[in-house]
Amino acid sequence: MRRFGLMIVAMLLSVVAFAQKQYDADFTQTRLVKVSGKTTTMTGHLNFDGVDHLTMDYTDPLGEFFYISGNTVSLNLNGKQTILDASKVKMVGLQRSTLLNCISGNWEQAAIDNNAETTVTEKDGLRHVVITVKGKVPRGGYSSVELTYRLKDNALVKMVLEEAIGIINTYEMR
């Protein structure tokens, strides 16, 4: 019994240790609007501190940003700055937690929060996770999320977020 308890503790510690505590990467974002077929490509730098702080500073277009700090979500997109309280705006709260959980490698919690099913495959040193919402997607929510992590360090290398309104954002980290 004691050996079994030690194995469980060791497994839990390995899961906690494997979650991303900090993550820093350049990225390319491709946005596809399905109804029009219009594609836009943007580049920038992502920094994640491991709990509830995320910065995405765009280098193209220069000056645009997306920040999460606690429950505050700040963005400057298309020259329009917006600050939102994720604890007061349900849609923003769901998007905030989904992004933070996906980047940190806690895709299981993202699936639970979004009432979603998951499919996980591992091949060629990568873990591919597909999260698909069961039933009706909340307004402003993601209908599906695809994540690719490096197995050796659980680092996110690709994230595809499909919004219910037909916009697909693909982030490739480098």
Q: What confidence score (pLDDT) does residue 10 get?
A: 35
Q: How far apart are CA 40 and CA 103, in angstroms?
A: 22
All domains in the chain, ordered by first residue: 23-173 (2.50.20.10)
pLDDT of residue 19: 54
Give residue 136's pLDDT.
86
Mean pLDDT value across residues 90-97? 92
The predicted-structure confidence for 122-133, as pLDDT tens digits, reads as follows 999 999 999 999
Residues 6+ apart with CB under 8 A from 130: 118, 119, 120, 144, 145, 146, 147
Q: Per residue, what are the HEC states of the chain?
A: CHHHHHHHHHHHHHHHHHCCCCEEEEEEEEEEECCCCEEEEEEEEEEECCCCEEEEEEEECEEEEEEEECCEEEEEECCEEEEEECCCCHHHHHHHHHHHHHHHCCHHHHHHHCCEEEEEEEECCEEEEEEEECCCCCCCCEEEEEEEEECCCCCEEEEEEEECCCEEEEEEEC
- The pLDDT tens digits of the residues spanning 139-148 come to 778 999 999 9
> Burial code of 141-152, b = ≥16 C-beta within 10 A, e = fewer?
bbbbbbbbbeee
Confidence of residue 4 (pLDDT cuts 50, 70, 90): very low
pTM (predicted TM-score) = 0.86
